[in-house]
């Protein structure tokens, strides 16, 4: 798997702006921090970018007419946690986010369907994700797209922030799955 095999697409926002969806490039990494709001994930994003070079993680960004990153979706094809992604039949979607001004206008659904189509073309049969229990809007959106809840997840995980300090994230979640 290489970058050339990854799909690109355009989405036209209801007001007419063209948004381009393409694989993440190294120069996009600062844009994922959203003017500082996500600076604490700097190291994590770098690690995922490095992993994307090997092909086990795929990352798409949505870029607006001013070349600003306004959306992102990460896909794990193969994980040490095989119940998430086994590299053959099941993948795991995470870090899916669109800037507020671009939400609720169809872009997220379009990116989700793009990722699902990409996986289907490669023989994957299931897509897993976690959605925060405190995020019923997103859960409802996934259900509309055919995902079903398969149980709770404590949502506890650790990461090293931009100052090398270990942080613990506690965000109880629902596990969801879709048959592609």
Give residues in contact with ligand COA (CB under 6 A). Answer: 96-98, 103-109, 131, 135, 137-138, 140-141, 144
**130 has which bridge partners?**
175
CB atoms within 10 A of CB 67: 9
CB closer to ligand COA, 59 vs 107: 107
Q: How far apart are the first and last CA of the chain?
A: 20
Using CB atoms, what's the residue nearest to ligand COA? 108
- Minimum distance between the CB of residue 168 and ligand COA, rounded to whole angstroms? 19
CB closer to ligand COA, 105 vs 160: 105
- Minimum distance between the CB of residue 2 and ligand COA, rounded to whole angstroms? 27
Helix/strand/coil percentages in the chain, nearest 5: 30, 35, 35
Secondary structure (3-state) at 134 = coil
- Minimum distance between the CB of residue 112 and ligand COA, rounded to whole angstroms? 7
CB closer to ligand COA, 96 vs 124: 96
Written as one string, the DSSP assignment of 38-72 is TGGGHHHHHHHHHHHHHTSEEEEEEE-TTS-EEEE
CB closer to ligand COA, 62 vs 77: 62
- Minimum distance between the CB of residue 99 and ligand COA, rounded to whole angstroms? 8
């Amino acid at each position: 798997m290489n970058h050339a095999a990854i799909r690109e697409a355009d989405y036209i926002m209801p007001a007419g702006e063209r948004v381009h969806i393409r694989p993440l490039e190294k120069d996009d990494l600062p844009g994922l921090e959203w003017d500082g709001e996500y600076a604490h994930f700097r190291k994590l994003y770098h690690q995922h970018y490095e992993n994307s070079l090997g092909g086990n993680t795929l990352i798409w960004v949505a870029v607006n007419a001013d070349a600003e990153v306004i959306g992102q979706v990460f896909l794990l094809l193969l994980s040490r946690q095989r119940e998430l992604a086994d590299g053959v039949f099941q993948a795991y979607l995470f870090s899916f986010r669109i800037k507020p001004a671009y939400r609720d206008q169809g872009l997220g659904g379009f990116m989700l369907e793009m990722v699902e189509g990409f996986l289907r073309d490669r023989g994957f049969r299931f897509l897993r994700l976690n959605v925060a229990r405190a995020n019923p809007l997103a859960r409802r959106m996934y259900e509309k797209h055919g995902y079903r809840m398969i149980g709770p997840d404590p949502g506890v995980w650790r990461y090293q922030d931009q100052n090398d300090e270990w942080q613990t994230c506690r965000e109880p979640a629902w596990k969801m799955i879709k048959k592609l």
